Amino acid sequence: MPKPTPRRPPTRRRRSNLVRVFRCGWVPVDDPLYVTYHDEEWGVPVRDERVLFELLNLEGAQAGLSWSTILRKREGYRHAFADWDIEAIADFDESDVERLLGDAGIVRHRGKIESVIDNARATLALDVPLTELLWSFVGGEPKVNAWHTVGEIPPQTVESQALSKELKRRGFRFTGPTTCYAFMQSAGLVDDHTLDCFRRAPT
């Protein structure tokens, strides 16, 4: 019986092609926009006030809709709401609301449109920076969870309930506890990447 010919080890390039990337189970891998959002944004700690304001309002706009719908309208929202300039949005009036109700680039829901304006005004009325207020509900640092599956992740938590209550007290709208938890996940206040996800923060 002839001696088997030794096989050469695969090159580095060939090995890398065999690496399988594991993501959270909620990510539709056939949707490039969604994959990019998960891989590059979701769960990354955000402390920029304008970005936090954007994410908070986008999560409010998503209520009753799919997140995919909001992602596809994200640029439309930036254009419609002055690139999320909080002071500019706070100056919007009824004519702006009527204009936005005709803008197909956003969710044309009067209550959700008016909530963005109200939230801008509520932000300007804060006695602490918005970033400081939001992050105070996790002690200023991301809360890293340890979920094995997506099914283990709760729709809301004690922290999101407390955040919702405080935001509503301060005049914010479309900030229920489930919306607040989705915001906390997206803005990296909590890390809810499952344990097998390549984007999970190192511990």
Integer CA distances (angstroms), 29 to 33, 34, 37, 59, 182, in order:
9, 8, 11, 21, 20
Query: What angle, rounded to 10 degrees, do the helices at 177-186 and 158-169 form?
Result: 110
Task: List residues bridging with 144 in a β-sheet.
Answer: 191
Identify the active-site residue in 41, 49, 67, 166.
67
Go through the chain and tell me how many residues it has.
203
Identify the active-site residue in 34, 37, 84, 147.
37
Active site residue 37: yes
Active site residue 98: no
Active site residue 34: no
Identify the active-site residue in 34, 59, 77, 159.
59
Integer CA distances (angstroms), 36 to 2, 23, 31, 40, 197, in order:
51, 11, 9, 6, 14
Question: Under a CB-based contact definition with an 8 Å cutoff, are residues 38 and 27 in contact?
Answer: yes
Exposure of 145 by Cβ count < 10 A (0-12 exposed, 13-18 middle, 19+ buried)? middle
Integer CA distances (angstroms), 38 to 58, 112, 127, in order:
15, 25, 33
User: Smallest Cα–Cα separation from 138: which of 190, 191, 194, 183?
Assistant: 190
Q: Which residues are catalytic?
A: 37, 59, 67
